[in-house]
Amino acid sequence: MRVVLLLALCALAAAYSYPSSDFELDLNFAKFQEFTARFSKNYKSVEEYTTRYATFLDNLERVAKLNQDGRGVFGVTKFMDMTPAEFKATYLGFKPDEMAPPKAPVARPHRAKRNATGSVDWRTKGAVTPVKDQAQCGSCWAFSATEQIESNWFLAGNELISLSPQQIVSCDTTDGGCGGGWTYTAYQYVQSAGGLDTDAAYPYSSGAGVTGTCDNPLPASPAAQISGFGYAIPTCSDSCTNQDENSMAQYMQENSPLSVCVDAEPWQFYSSGIMTVDQCPSDFSGLDHCVQAVGYDATGSQPYWIVRNSWNTNWGEDGFIRLALGTNTCGIGDVATYVKI
């Protein structure tokens, strides 16, 4: 097996244009071995191993190009053996092209007259549950909606509890489970169902990509309930280069975190730092992932949003990412929602 693997890798190196020297080949193969060990990657055959190594080499080139622009730092992540198409199909489940945001109240309909100032971090105020892991299921929309309900439920004077994204994934028939969905229809489901169970009572089971059947669409004793949802600022459905992030920051400082939907394709290789709009554009049509903005900091030379992802703590900055504030990086201001308790 080992001899066959070495021969296959030699053939790959001979045909591959990325590393031309033995030193580069050895260095990149060492990186790949470190990657497979760190993230417990187990491939079923020599063919799969060599295919994933080739993808890893392609992604090293992508990482190098991404690091040429902006302030975000890109590197070897747990997604380095996936092509961008595989990554998008597996982890990015928001589908803006299939449904425009429905009408709902807008908390800040008029543009702010001043830039965002100060900072807020709702993690330090006890309003944010721990980072979760959607795993290999396009259920980001359900996680984002659940996390927003958790925060608004707590800020309405209730206990902070981890609620069940699985209930939404399996029981919300308007959306597509692991095939993707929308935060606003998730809210509508929760409202019609009478609320959400706890994560302990209805634990997550779709991590392998299976939506699963609905155990109980109408909880007998829901842990949290909502009466509707709204937008922090007006939504956008075009290039979205002029969203009012200052009003969005003011809303967040005065009220709560926000569920947001973003273009997360560049997030595949994010490691740390502040990602900028030249690394991640603002166009509504590029939105493909929903998360939760839990704070911002406008006290330094580069203001930024603090965003909680649902890819576990072994991604990004312990499960979080920072996005530049003021340029609608990744489209963070296109669809920013809260729920009413």
What Rg do the C-alpha atoms of the chain give, in angstroms? 21
pTM equals 0.92
Catalytic residues: 140, 289, 309
Whether 140 maps to a domain, the answer reads: yes
| pLDDT number for residue 93 | 87
Whether 44 maps to a domain, the answer reads: no
| pLDDT number for residue 94 | 83
Cα separation of 278 and 255, whole Å? Answer: 30
Ranges of the chain with pLDDT below 70? 1-25, 96-98
- Tell me how far CA of residue 268 lies from CA of 11, 293, 339, in angstroms: 28, 18, 29
Whether 2 maps to a domain, the answer reads: no
Find the domain containing 186 and state its range: 84-340
Whether 118 maps to a domain, the answer reads: yes
145-155: per-residue pLDDT in tens? 999 999 999 99
Whether 314 maps to a domain, the answer reads: yes
Q: Provide the number of structural domains found in the chain.
A: 1
Strand spans (E) along the chain: 73-74, 119-121, 228-231, 258-262, 270-272, 274-275, 289-297, 304-308, 320-324, 336-340
Whether 188 maps to a domain, the answer reads: yes
| pLDDT number for residue 14 | 45
Q: Which residues contact 302 (CB under 8 A, 6 or more apart)?
A: 71, 274, 324
Whether 11 maps to a domain, the answer reads: no
Whether 1 maps to a domain, the answer reads: no
| pLDDT number for residue 120 | 99
| pLDDT number for residue 3 | 40
| CATH code for position 248 | 3.90.70.10
- Answer whether 278's CB lies under 8 Å from 292's CB: no
- Name the nearest CA neighbour of 259 among 292, 212, 226, 219: 292
Q: What is the number of other CB atoms lying within 10 angstroms of the CB of residue 216?
A: 13
